């Protein structure tokens, strides 16, 4: 291959030591945290340090028609950042500077590779925060959060990524740089391409900068309620009752019996009552104590055993039980961590469906839910052999159970993914939710941004 047709030689000539072909790096770029890995190894991992590095990479990729898979921290749960045979993995993790913080305008301008928690630690010094708080905030990037449209525990009250981004700097497949959005509170000039890019999973361009909408740190007390219920349906009905009461908790997390038992075992806590499910709820702001009292009354009326704490440290201890879900699942086997959303009133019915899928498919599905917004994370537990790189793929019987569960969520008026995205793992169900016409329209939109189809091919869309 002549140098001008060999993408790796061209990248090395342009970017020198930012082009990494070491076996460990190539193997690492095959997989995210979903359990899925791309087949084969990518050509190279480019560690971009500047917008110019990204533009040069994409110009070379365009000229050689080489696919590019953009990567933040690789914590995604849909296989969307996985790069395989013939592809360039473009890591923006080293582009991690905060370029500007404006407390007066409540905005910050950042590079995409900064970790969510690092950004928030820096913003706290100004009395500010960026609200999206995925449970992975200590290990995931702001660019990845934007590209997946991430959510978190606090988003029922404070919004998801889509509510917290004013503008995006985007490098297109051919290397051109677009500045989308604005720095103003309002702004309706032209089509809202910023929103289009949020959740686009690397298929429209590479996010090289973001103007983020900030909040001031919330003053006042934080109150935490832990309520246990005899079974998960009663707990789900109680969470729906809290929402229907008009109360606005900052956090409302539901753990079913299997999740609760696994976490208690992991943390060496006394075993919970068999079958019991738990709601952990926080209120914040000046009205926190009154809201907590009102919510406690709703929970007690719904059959809960309720404990209320005004102590922040005790609140963190109670929330640590919910935050230990992921490591607890690892003690049970390999977990396919799923992500469906239903209207909040449909949570009890969705838990009935999960119980049915468990019975009919003979699988164990410990489930937690961001009950404040109707987003459930069913964890399909299985055991299967690892490949040569240690990646364990979910077997087909697990996918059959997941298929049944996804269709149940859609029947209940829900959606396939509340916050993790489509990636590779859910692309076969995308048209079921969108319908053929919308699927085709969305596909055509990606082609406007990326006519050659070199940006994250095979992700989100099947062809």
d(CA 252, CA 360): 30
Picking from 252, 275, 229, 230, the residue whose alpha carbon sits closest to that of residue 368 is 252
Q: Tally Cβ neighbours within 10 Å of residue 171.
A: 27
394-413: contacts with ligand FAD (CB under 6 A):
none
Which residue from 68, 88, 135, 350 is in contact with ligand FAD, where contact means CB under 6 A? 135
DSSP secondary structure string for all residues of 93-142: TT---EEEEETTTTEEEE-TTSBHHHHHHHHHTTTEE-----TTTTTSBH
> Which one-letter DSSP state was computed for residue 353?
H
Q: Is 42 in the site for ligand FAD (CB under 6 A)?
A: no
Q: Is 419 in the site for ligand FAD (CB under 6 A)?
A: yes
Q: Is 427 in the site for ligand FAD (CB under 6 A)?
A: no
- 99 versus 301: smaller Cβ distance to ligand FAD: 99
Site string for ligand FAD, 324-353 (x = CB under 6 A): --x---------------------------
With b meaning 16 or more CB within 10 Å and e meaning fewer, what string describes 245-273?
eebbbbbbbbbbbbbbbbbbebeeeeebe
Contact stretch for ligand FAD (CB under 6 A) within 1-9, 96-104, 140-148, 391-399? 140-148
90-129: contacts with ligand FAD (CB under 6 A):
92, 112
d(CA 225, CA 298): 12
Where are the strands (E) in 273-366, listed by range?
A: 277-284, 305-309, 334-337, 340-341
Which residue from 41, 128, 147, 392 is in contact with ligand FAD, where contact means CB under 6 A? 147
CB of 182 to ligand FAD, least distance (A): 19
64-83: contacts with ligand FAD (CB under 6 A):
69-77, 80-81
As given in the structure block, the two tokens for residue 380 are 């399909």
CB of 3 to ligand FAD, least distance (A): 28
Q: Do 192 and 249 form a contact (C-beta atoms < 8 A)?
A: no
With b meaning 16 or more CB within 10 Å and e meaning fewer, what string describes 375-392?
bbbbbbbbeeeeeeeebb
d(CA 333, CA 379): 10
Which residue from 28, 42, 84, 143 is in contact with ligand FAD, where contact means CB under 6 A? 143
CB of 115 to ligand FAD, least distance (A): 8
Q: Is 255 in the site for ligand FAD (CB under 6 A)?
A: no
Q: Is 207 in the site for ligand FAD (CB under 6 A)?
A: yes
Q: Is 456 in the site for ligand FAD (CB under 6 A)?
A: yes
Number of residues binding to ligand FAD, judged by CB under 6 A: 36
- 315 versus 421: smaller Cβ distance to ligand FAD: 421
- Where does this chain bind ligand FAD (CB under 6 A)? 32-33, 69-77, 80-81, 92, 112, 134-136, 140-141, 143-145, 147-148, 150-152, 201-202, 206-207, 326, 419-420, 456
């Amino acid at each position: 291959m002549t140098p001008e047709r060999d993408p790796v030689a061209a990248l090395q000539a342009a970017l020198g030591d930012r082009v990494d072909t070491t076996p460990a790096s190539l193997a690492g770029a095959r997989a995210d945290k979903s359990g899925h890995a791309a087949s084969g190894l990518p050509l190279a991992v480019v560690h971009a340090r500047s917008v110019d590095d990204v533009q040069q990479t994409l110009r070379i990729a365009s000229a050689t028609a080489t696919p590019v898979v953009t990567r933040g921290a690789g914590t995604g749960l849909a296989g969307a950042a996985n790069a395989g045979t013939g592809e360039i993995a473009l890591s923006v993790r080293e582009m991690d500077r905060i370029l500007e913080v404006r407390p007066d305008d409540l905005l910050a301008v950042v590079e995409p590779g900064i970790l969510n928690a690092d950004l928030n630690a820096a913003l706290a010094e100004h009395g500010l925060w960026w609200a999206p708080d995925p449970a992975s905030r200590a290990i995931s990037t702001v660019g990845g959060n934007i590209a997946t449209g991430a959510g978190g525990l606090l988003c029922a009250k404070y919004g998801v990524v889509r509510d917290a981004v004013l503008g995006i700097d985007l490098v297109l497949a051919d290397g051109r740089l677009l500045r989308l959005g604005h720095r103003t509170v309002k702004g309706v000039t032209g089509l809202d391409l910023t929103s289009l890019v949020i959740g686009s999973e690397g298929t429209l361009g590479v996010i090289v900068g973001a103007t983020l909408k900030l909040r001031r740190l919330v003053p006042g007390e934080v109150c935490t309620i832990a309520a246990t219920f005899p079974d998960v349906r009663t707990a789900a009905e109680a969470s729906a009752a809290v929402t229907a009461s008009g109360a606005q908790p900052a956090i409302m997390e539901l753990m079913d019996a299997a999740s609760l038992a696994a976490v208690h075992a992991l943390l060496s806590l006394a075993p919970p009552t068999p079958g019991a499910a738990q709601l952990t709820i926080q209120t914040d702001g000046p009205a926190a104590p009154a809201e907590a009292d009102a919510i406690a009354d709703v929970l007690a009326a719904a059959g809960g055993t309720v404990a209320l704490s005004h102590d922040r440290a005790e609140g963190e201890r109670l929330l640590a039980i919910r935050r230990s879900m992921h490591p607890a699942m690892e003690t049970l086997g390999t977990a396919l961590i799923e992500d469906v959303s239903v209207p909040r009133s449909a949570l009890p019915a969705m838990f009935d469906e999960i119980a049915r899928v468990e019975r009919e498919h003979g699988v164990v599905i410990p489930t937690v839910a961001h009950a404040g917004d109707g987003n459930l994370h069913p964890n399909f537990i299985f055991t299967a052999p690892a490949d040569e790189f240690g990646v364990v793929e979910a077997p087909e019987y697990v996918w059959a159970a997941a298929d049944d569960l996804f269709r149940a969520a859609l029947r209940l008026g829900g959606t396939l993914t509340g916050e993790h995205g489509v990636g590779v793992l859910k692309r076969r169900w995308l048209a079921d939710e969108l319908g053929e016409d919308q699927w085709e329209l969305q596909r055509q939109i990606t082609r406007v941004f990326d006519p050659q189809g070199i940006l994250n091919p095979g992700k989100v869309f099947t062809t």
